[in-house]
């Protein structure tokens, strides 16, 4: 089941715990005309948390 971030602030360890199993994300940027661009991306963390 997908998890949703619900905290405004988390420590590094909690952030890594949330992100490590999640490999799909959405990158949100603004277009020059002011509209929103949503792009699906793949992400991950290595053993060093990068």
| Domain count of the fold of the chain | 1
- Cα(9)–Cα(7) distance, integer angstroms: 5
- Cα(30)–Cα(18) distance, integer angstroms: 26
- Cα(29)–Cα(37) distance, integer angstroms: 5
Residue 1 domain-assigned? no
Residue 2 domain-assigned? no
Residue 7 domain-assigned? no
Give the count of beta carbons closer than 10 Å to the beta carbon of residue 15.
15
Residue 23 domain-assigned? yes
* Per-residue pLDDT at 27: 93
- Cα(18)–Cα(38) distance, integer angstroms: 21
pLDDT tens digits, residue range 2-49? Answer: 566 666 788 888 888 888 888 888 999 999 999 999 999 998 888 888
Report yes or no: 25 and 41 within 8 Å, Cβ to Cβ: yes
């Amino acid at each position: 089941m997908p998890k949703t971030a619900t905290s405004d602030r988390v420590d590094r360890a909690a952030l890594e715990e949330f992100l490590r199993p999640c490999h799909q994300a959405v990158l949100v940027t603004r277009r020059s005309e002011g509209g929103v661009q949503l792009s699906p991306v793949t992400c991950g963390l290595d053993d060093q948390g990068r």
